Chains A and B, each alone.
Chain A
Amino acid sequence: MKFRLNAGQRQGLLGSAMLSLLILLIVGAYSLWGETYQARILYATFVNILVVVGLQVFTGNSNLTGFSHAAFMGIAAYAAAISVTPVAMKAIALPDAPWGLNAFELSPIVSALIAFGITGVLGLLTGLIMARLTGVGVTIVSIAILVIVHSIFLHRTDIFKGNQAFFGIPKIFDLSWITALVILAIFLARLFRESSFGLQLRACADDEVGARAMGIDIYRTRLIGWIISTLFFATAGIAYAFFLGTISARPFYFNYVFLTIAMLILGGLRSVTGAVFGTLLITIGLEVVRWLETGPTLVGVKLPEMLGLSGLLLGVVIVGVMAFLPKGIMGNREIEELFRRKPKA
């Protein structure tokens, strides 16, 4: 059998290449003019792109909103962190860990694979449930997963340290690693969207009964989409732990879920380009607002300190997009379609 790409997939490769170019331009601009503290912001942005692109894979294509991505990210981050942290460090960080969790250390690659595997298996198990549900049921059960995982993180302080920091994770990734991962993620997400599974998943979103009548196995399609998207979250979690050096349970909860959902819906659920644009736009917006929050001096006027402004912006984005721009900025379009001449009506 000859392996050939159809027109949509060739277009997908082109579009992913264009998005990758954009990412490389950003990294290039940073290395030319950026300041050191901005490396952290850029890295966080790229982790967010991984998550939002992963969200696009399931939520975007199937139009079923999941809220559990922060939980999967947290699981992967903790699994990778616990495996890779040196024994000497864990003796301080996790003195009471059960099952000999603080008595071994693994190489970064093995740790990442373990984290990937654990998250993937959990993705499969939850997916078996998720794929059976429809509409708001998916959202509710994914909220349940988020809350369950979070309360386990908080409860087992001997393993996860709860809201305190789990520290001493060696710094393994740098900016070039995450750049490579982001580009890979963009390509994979776009190819998934254009693959037969992606197409079927989108068909189910548009007309479930019709899709079934055409012979699509809705259950299998949703399951595959769900598992693949959890693997994106796992990658994001591992990248998060391998760069920051400390993790805690706090960031893997509702606030982060809302942030990433806002990014996705601003850009437009249905396109990978939308996911990337949404993430970049909100990140830039939030950085400006955070600077305003600290009460800077503008044109000689000292602004007051305004805590909560960034959260306010996030809420306004969500409500505004939902009310006035329900399809997001990109709607159903991808980046290469912006450059194509419009067919005459």
Chain B
Amino acid sequence: MDYVIQQALNALSFGAEYALIALGLAIVFSIMGLVNFAHGEVIAFGGYSMVMISTVLTGNPWFLMIGVLVATVLASLTLERVAFRTIRGADLTTGLLTAFGVSIILQNLFLLLGSPRPIPATQFIFLDQTLTIGAIRISSLQIYEAITTVVAIGLLLTFLRKTTLGMAMRAAALDFEMVRLCGVRANRVIAGAFAISGLLAGLAAIFIMARRGSVDPHMGFNPVLTAFVACVIGGFGSLPGAVLGGFLLGITEVAVLVLLPQEYGGLAQAVVFTLVALVLIWRPDGILSPAQEKGDKV
């Protein structure tokens, strides 16, 4: 029984992290139809900004956290302004390739200006302590992560429902042209989406840094690949779908690790991606999105 609870907690904390990153992808996608693969590099930038701030200004972890969040929001806004504004309204594939291009550029900039080897940054390690409750051992980081994800989702929902910009963003997800006709500035809505996405990336960066204690140029790529899968499973552009997909993925990954014999551990990623392919064949638009009539928009 303890073992089951232990693994369930693990699944939840994996899921929380994926959900956090997947939300960042989904909020941008829902509004401008862009699969933002450069999200991972925004996370990595959060890690690098931590190194920079701690050497130049202060090593106080609380200030650092604020610094990381500010840095990732600014990075996300800059990317929107510099790279993604020119391709606004282009088709999905163009957006996807551009995002991959931006992600390659940033990775190589980190390589060029930073270092190909991991740079240690251990200020957030203190978040990760092992707690023993009865027979269950959990990391405090897992609890923080789960709480943060829930709070972030709650705040995001409040923002989307109660504020004008939030409502404009929800409306834009349905019909962007109509929102513009109602007199809402397109740039402001999209910048808002990127700012939120950057903030979520910053939160993810803090947790990833607390776990790894070092930053390297490619650290964002794999988490975003997994979060992307979460979005696909949940239905791209659907915010509840992203969260659901994130948790489903966390559960699947833990289940694969637990159920398969030890030596197959390396195949967890293969199983997860097979699942994605199957979901897409079953429902090409994801679990939580209604199947669309083809030809509707022709």
Contacts and interface: CB of A to CB of B under 8 A. Distances in A.
A129 interface: yes
A152 B269 CA distance: 10
A310 B280 CA distance: 35
Given A318-B100, A319-B105, A323-B98, A306 B112 contact: yes
A148 B274 contact: yes
Contacts of B91: 135
Interface size class of chain A, counting residues whose CB lies under 8 Å from the partner chain: 35 or more
A151 B83 contact: no
Given A139-B96, A140-B232, A312-B109, A147 B104 contact: no
Nearest to B221: A254
A96 B109 CA distance: 41
A312 B112 contact: yes
A315 B104 contact: yes
Contacts of A254: 221
A309 B228 CA distance: 27
A278 B107 CA distance: 23
Contacts of A145: 273, 277
Given A65-B96, A307-B116, A323-B87, A315 B108 contact: yes
A147 B97 CA distance: 18
Contacts, number: 134
B270 A151 contact: yes
Q: Which of B90, B93, B228, B236 has the most CB of A within 10 A?
A: B93
A134 B297 CA distance: 15
Contacts of B83: 319, 323
Contacts of B94: 322, 326
Nearest to A318: B101
Given A65-B93, A209-B295, A311 B108 contact: yes
B5 interface: no
Contacts of A148: 269-270, 273-274
A65 B97 contact: yes
Contacts of A312: 104-105, 108-109, 112
Nearest to A132: B281
Interface residues of B, number: 47
Interface string B264-298: 10110110011011001100100000000011001
A324 B83 CA distance: 11
A293 to B, nearest CB: 10
A40 interface: no
B163 interface: no
A5 interface: no
Interface string A138-150: 0111011101100
B100 A258 contact: yes
B80 to A, nearest CB: 13
B274 A318 contact: no
Interface string A161-186: 00000000000000000000000000
B41 to A, nearest CB: 10
Contacts of A144: 273-274, 276-277
Nearest to B281: A129
A254 B153 CA distance: 32
B35 interface: yes
Contact of A147 (B107, B270, B281, B284): B270
Nearest to B104: A315
Interface residues of B, dominant DSSP: helix
Contacts of B100: 258, 261, 318
B83 to A, nearest CB: 6
B17 to A, nearest CB: 19
B161 to A, nearest CB: 29
A192 to B, nearest CB: 21
B107 A319 contact: no
Interface in A103-152: 129, 132-137, 139-141, 143-145, 147-148, 151-152
Nearest to B222: A147
A319 B267 contact: no
Contact of A322 (B98, B106, B232, B284): B98
A314 interface: yes
B206 to A, nearest CB: 26
Interface in A295-345: 306-312, 314-319, 322-324, 326
A63 interface: yes
A48 to B, nearest CB: 17
B136 interface: no
A129 B96 contact: no
B90 A129 contact: no
A97 interface: no
B149 to A, nearest CB: 24
B109 A308 contact: yes
Contacts of B98: 318-319, 322-323
Interface in B77-94: 83, 86-87, 90-94
Contacts of B270: 147-148, 151-152, 155
Contacts of A133: 280-281, 284
Contacts of B274: 144, 148
A271 B108 CA distance: 30
Interface of B: 35, 83, 86-87, 90-94, 96-98, 100-112, 116, 217, 221, 225, 228, 232, 236, 264, 266-267, 269-270, 273-274, 276-277, 280-281, 284, 294-295, 298
